[in-house]
Chains A and B, each alone.
Chain A
Amino acid sequence: MKRTNRPGKSARLFIAKHKLFVGIASGLLVVLLIIGGFTAWSLAQWREYDQHTTSQQRAFRESLAAALALPADTSEAKAKKRVAIQAASTAFAAQQRICDVSWLTAWQQRLFEPAKKRVDDCRASLAALDTLRGDVDRTMSYLQHEQALASLIATATDGANEQDEALWQATSDKWQTLTGAIKNMKVSSEFEPVRARAGQLAELVSAGWKELLAAHTVKDRSRYEKAVGELDKAYVAFQALSQDDVTTMAALLQPFETLSDK
């Protein structure tokens, strides 16, 4: 009788268990490697998120600061500076989704508090900067209206410092035109009080000129002398418009006092 080399039943059982163990261990190792790999990838993603969000927001502050630092000693330089500030604001306005997270890692905010905090901090800071951007836009809009008003006024007051009667009608007409132009200005709510006040004061000067011309026409000396006095007062009142403007502008500039210079 010939004996075979086949292992015994117990030996086969041992081998089967061993294979199973190796298989399970290998499986666990693979899973562990996958989890570890994903964890490492996630950490890299979050670091990149940090760097990206920080650099974007810093870029806005820096570009705004650089634009603000531009000289404004001439009208051309002022225009260039305004464009640069507006460009910084517009560029940042396009970055409203910088705090968004990829869906592959977004779910981690629900599991990991540090991840959630980073996103929350990013959004809080973004909101603060967005408020600042809004303030910048409002201020630039105000300055734009102010410049438009200044141009209108400069046109009405570019006459000779000393005028004889031949020029009075033209000057009166200029002020009447100015009054109408100010009334027709479409401005922001921030600039509206200044526009309205400027309109009232321009109308006062215009009325002063009309009265002067009327007194001149009838050659009424006392009326003429009174009209000259009233016209002087109207001009002084008009010049005081800068006080209204200063008050409004101060409120607009307040946000810039907390602009980070880091």
Chain B
Amino acid sequence: MCVMCSMAYSATGVVMATTTGLPVVTTASQMTTNTVAVSQVASLRTLPQVLENVKAPALREPGWLVQQKAAEAAAVAQRAAQRRAVTVVTYDVTTKGTVVANLAEFRTQASATLNDSRGWARLGVSFQEVASGGMFTLVLSEAGQIPSFSSGCGTEYSCRAGRYVIINQDRWLGATSSWNSAGGSLRDYRHMVVNHETGHWLGHGHAICTGAGQPAQVMQQQSMNLQGCAFNPWPTASELWSTQLGIRL
């Protein structure tokens, strides 16, 4: 019997071990990469598409803001209109002391400077010479007479004292040594000095050079020292305001 059992055991084992057919199962190690399945599952997603459509709505401005903006726009337009309206600034011309310079030329050149499109006329004003009673008085003065206008005025340079815009006859005729040695022309100096002193009347103080090589502001004391700036007889854009005339930048 034991022999028979042994034979049967061996036979069963051998037959079972060699039985052909499909593998019992596909084991985990036999699994293969299947990126297709990943995309197939991912295709079921709904949130990304919904989130893609989540956008802040374009907000129409509320009525009160529209009104505020309209009021602001109107105010801006009004100011612009006011600026565009030409303000006439009148001035009269006189002399002080012994004047040897050509007064007619002085008048002509001063008027040309004041109404030049590069000058204070950019404020939206027009300078008009009148016989008397002007808003300011342009004076061509003998150098020695200038201190008589104000103790703050000297004989060397031009000056402004109250309503008087005083041009030093010596400077009118010969500019300054620093100007001349730097190669500035007499006509430009005349533009500069008329603009500078009129600038004081308009409400400006003195300015300093804003940077080497930059055009000097007309309110810089260019007669004395350019401070590294370049000659500039005309007011710069930042100087286009006047407290005297109530014009803001």
Contacts and interface: CB of A to CB of B under 8 A. Distances in A.
Interface stretch (A88-96, A154-162, A179-187): A154-162
Interface stretch (A6-14, A15-23, A29-37): A29-37
Contacts of A256: 34, 37-38, 40-41
A239 B52 contact: yes
B26 A112 contact: no
Given A42-B12, A221-B68, A122 B44 contact: no
A69 B40 contact: yes
A201 to B, nearest CB: 10
Contacts of A160: 57
Nearest to A65: B37
B85 interface: no
A72 B44 contact: yes
Nearest to B35: A257
Q: In the complex, which of the residues B28, B50, B60 has the most CB atoms of chain A within 10 Å of its own CB atom?
A: B50
Nearest to B57: A163
A128 interface: yes
Given A54-B24, A124-B27, A260-B34, A43 B42 contact: no
Q: In the complex, which of the residues B4, B33, B51, B60 has the most CB atoms of chain A within 10 Å of its own CB atom?
A: B51
B44 A81 contact: yes
A245 interface: yes
For chain A, the bracket of interface size reads: 35 or more
Interface stretch (B14-22, B160-168, B187-195, B210-218): B14-22
Given A53-B25, A54-B24, A239-B51, A146 B46 contact: yes
A125 interface: yes
B29 to A, nearest CB: 9
Given A163-B58, A232-B56, A146 B26 contact: no
A241 B51 contact: yes
B1 A162 contact: no
Given A53-B24, A162-B58, A43 B41 contact: no
Interface of A: 28, 31-32, 35-36, 39, 42-43, 46-47, 50-51, 53-54, 57-58, 61, 65, 68-69, 72, 75, 78, 81-82, 108, 111-115, 118, 121-122, 124-126, 128, 139, 143, 146-147, 149-150, 153-154, 157, 159-165, 168, 171, 212, 216, 219, 221, 224, 228, 231-232, 234-236, 238-239, 241-242, 245-246, 249, 253, 256-262
Given A72-B44, A114-B16, A143-B41, 7 more contacts: A35-B8, A54-B24, A146-B47, A157-B50, A157-B54, A239-B52, A261-B37
